[in-house]
Chains A and B, each alone.
Chain A
Amino acid sequence: MIRRTVNFLDSRTGAVPFLRKSLRYIFPDHWSFLLGEIAMYAFIVLVATGVYLTLFFEPSLAETTYTGSYKPLQGLAMSEAYRSAVELSFDIPSGLLMRQTHHWASNIFVAAILMHLLRVFFTGAFRKPREITWVIGLLMLFATLLEGYLGYSMIDDLLSGIGLAIGYGVALSLPVVGANLTLGLWGGPFPGDPAFESRMYVAHVFLLPILIGTLMAGHLALVASRHHAQFKATKRATERKLVGMPAFPAQVPRSLALMFATVAVLFLLGGLVQINPIWQWGPFEVSQGTNGAQPDWYLGWLIGSLRLVPGFDVTIGDYTLIPNPFWGGALFPLVVMAVLGAWPWLERRFGGVRGFHNILDRPRDVPGRTAFGFAFFTWVALIFLAGSADRATVFFGLDYESQVVFFRGAVIVAPIVAFFVTRRICRELKRGEEIGVDKERAEEEAEEEAQEAEREKEPAPA
Chain B
Amino acid sequence: MTTSPDGEHDSHDIVAPGPQSPRSELAVAALLVAAAVSAIAFIVVYSLEKFSTQHELLGITLAASFAFVAAALLLFGERVLPSEEVAEDYPEAAAPMEQEEVAKVMEESTSGITRKRLLVGAGGTAGGAIGLAALTPALSMGPWIDVAPLYRTPWRPGRRLVDDKGKPYKAEEIEQETFYTAFPEGSSDRNLGASLVVVRVDPAALRLPPERAGWAPEGILAFSKICPHAACTVAIYQKPTYGPTQPGPALVCPCHYSTFDPAKGGEVLFGPAGRPLPQLPLTVDAGREIRAGGNFSDAIGPSWWGIEMEEPH
B274 pairs with A254, CB closer than 8 A: no
Interface size class, chain B: 35 or more
Q: For B283, what are the chain A residues with a Cβ–Cβ distance below 8 Å? A: none
Task: Answer whether A323 and B274 are a contact pair too, CB < 8 Å, given A166-B255, A254-B77.
Answer: yes
A257 pairs with B304, CB closer than 8 A: no
Interface 0/1 of A319-357, CB less than 8 Å to B: 111011100110000000000000000000000000010
B304 pairs with A182, CB closer than 8 A: yes
Complex Cα–Cα for A192 and B301 (A): 13
Does B71 have its Cβ within 8 Å of any Cβ on chain A?
yes
Complex Cα–Cα for A289 and B49 (A): 37
Task: Answer whether A172 and B89 are a contact pair too, CB < 8 Å, given A188-B143, A287-B183, A311-B274.
Answer: no
B230 pairs with A260, CB closer than 8 A: no
193-227 of chain B: CB within 8 A of chain A: 194-195, 225-226
* Chain B nearest Cβ from A195, distance in angstroms: 8
Task: Answer whether A313 and B60 are a contact pair too, CB < 8 Å, given A249-B15, A320-B304, A404-B257.
Answer: no
* Chain B nearest Cβ from A427, distance in angstroms: 31
Does A218 have its Cβ within 8 Å of any Cβ on chain B?
no
Query: Which of chain A's residues has its CB closest to B302's CB?
Result: A169
141-180 of chain A: CB within 8 A of chain B: 162, 165-166, 168-170, 172-173, 175-176, 178-180
Task: Answer whether A189 and B139 are a contact pair too, CB < 8 Å, given A245-B83, A287-B194, A309-B272.
Answer: no
Complex Cα–Cα for A165 and B227 (A): 10
Q: For B258, what are the chain A residues with a Cβ–Cβ distance below 8 Å? A: 311
Which one of B18, B195, B226, B303 has the highest number of Cβ atoms from chain A below 10 Å of its Cβ? B303
Q: For A244, what are the chain B residues with a Cβ–Cβ distance below 8 Å? A: 85-87
Does B159 have its Cβ within 8 Å of any Cβ on chain A?
no
* Segment at the A interface, from B102-110, B124-132, B147-155, B169-177: B147-155
Task: Answer whether A179 and B147 are a contact pair too, CB < 8 Å, given A172-B303, A190-B192, A250-B83.
Answer: yes
Query: Which of chain B's residues has its CB closest to A227's CB?
Result: B90
Contact pick for B229, options A176, A272, A324, A399, CB 8 Å: A324
Query: Which of chain A's residues has its CB closest to B82's CB?
Result: A249
Q: For A289, what are the chain B residues with a Cβ–Cβ distance below 8 Å? A: 232-235, 253-255
Q: For A404, what are the chain B residues with a Cβ–Cβ distance below 8 Å? A: 257, 270-271
B46 pairs with A93, CB closer than 8 A: yes
A257 pairs with B150, CB closer than 8 A: no
Task: Answer whether A257 and B77 are a contact pair too, CB < 8 Å, given A93-B46, A287-B225.
Answer: yes
A179 pairs with B304, CB closer than 8 A: yes
Q: For B231, what are the chain A residues with a Cβ–Cβ distance below 8 Å? A: 165-166, 168-169, 172, 190
Does A306 have its Cβ within 8 Å of any Cβ on chain B?
yes
* Chain B nearest Cβ from A190, distance in angstroms: 5
Q: For A315, what are the chain B residues with a Cβ–Cβ distance below 8 Å? A: 308
B90 pairs with A260, CB closer than 8 A: no
Q: For A279, what are the chain B residues with a Cβ–Cβ distance below 8 Å? A: none
Interface 0/1 of B287-303, CB less than 8 Å to A: 00000000000000111
Does A219 have its Cβ within 8 Å of any Cβ on chain B?
no
Does A133 have its Cβ within 8 Å of any Cβ on chain B?
no
Interface size class, chain A: 35 or more
Does B256 have its Cβ within 8 Å of any Cβ on chain A?
yes
93-121 of chain A: CB within 8 A of chain B: 93-94, 96-97, 101
Which one of A306, A358, A402 has the highest number of Cβ atoms from chain B below 10 Å of its Cβ? A306
Q: For B60, what are the chain A residues with a Cβ–Cβ distance below 8 Å? A: 268, 271-272
Does B141 have its Cβ within 8 Å of any Cβ on chain A?
yes
Does A265 have its Cβ within 8 Å of any Cβ on chain B?
yes
Contact pick for B86, options A179, A190, A245, A325, CB 8 Å: A245
B241 pairs with A400, CB closer than 8 A: yes
Query: Which of chain B's residues has its CB closest to A230's CB?
Result: B90
A320 pairs with B87, CB closer than 8 A: no
Does B40 have its Cβ within 8 Å of any Cβ on chain A?
no
A253 pairs with B77, CB closer than 8 A: yes
Interface 0/1 of B69-92, CB less than 8 Å to A: 111011011100111111111110
B67 pairs with A260, CB closer than 8 A: yes
Task: Answer whether A253 and B76 are a contact pair too, CB < 8 Å, given A168-B231, A241-B87, A400-B241.
Answer: yes
A190 pairs with B308, CB closer than 8 A: no
Complex Cα–Cα for A291 and B252 (A): 11
Does A216 have its Cβ within 8 Å of any Cβ on chain B?
no
Complex Cα–Cα for A190 and B306 (A): 16
Contact pick for B275, options A249, A287, A313, A399, CB 8 Å: A313
A291 pairs with B254, CB closer than 8 A: yes
A183 pairs with B189, CB closer than 8 A: no
Complex Cα–Cα for A51 and B181 (A): 40
B149 pairs with A189, CB closer than 8 A: yes
Does A242 have its Cβ within 8 Å of any Cβ on chain B?
yes
* Chain A nearest Cβ from B152, distance in angstroms: 7
Does B7 have its Cβ within 8 Å of any Cβ on chain A?
yes
B141 pairs with A306, CB closer than 8 A: no
Q: For B234, what are the chain A residues with a Cβ–Cβ distance below 8 Å? A: 289
Q: For A320, what are the chain B residues with a Cβ–Cβ distance below 8 Å? A: 303-308
Does A258 have its Cβ within 8 Å of any Cβ on chain B?
yes
Complex Cα–Cα for A101 and B58 (A): 12
Query: Which of chain B's residues has its CB closest to A263's CB?
Result: B66
Q: For A101, what are the chain B residues with a Cβ–Cβ distance below 8 Å? A: 59
Q: For B37, what are the chain A residues with a Cβ–Cβ distance below 8 Å? A: none
Contact pick for B242, options A166, A258, A399, CB 8 Å: A399
Does A185 have its Cβ within 8 Å of any Cβ on chain B?
yes
Can you name 10 extra interface pairs (CB under 8 A) apart from A172-B231, A320-B304, A404-B257?
A: A29-B85, A93-B49, A162-B255, A184-B139, A185-B141, A240-B89, A257-B73, A268-B60, A290-B254, A324-B272
11 contacts between A and B (CB under 8 A): A94-B58, A180-B147, A190-B231, A191-B190, A249-B18, A250-B84, A267-B63, A267-B66, A291-B236, A311-B270, A356-B93
Chain B interface (Cβ within 8 Å of chain A)?
7, 15, 18, 46, 49, 54-60, 62-67, 69-71, 73-74, 76-78, 81-91, 93, 138-139, 141-147, 149-150, 152, 164, 181, 183, 189-192, 194-195, 225-226, 229-236, 241-242, 245, 253-258, 268, 270-275, 301-309
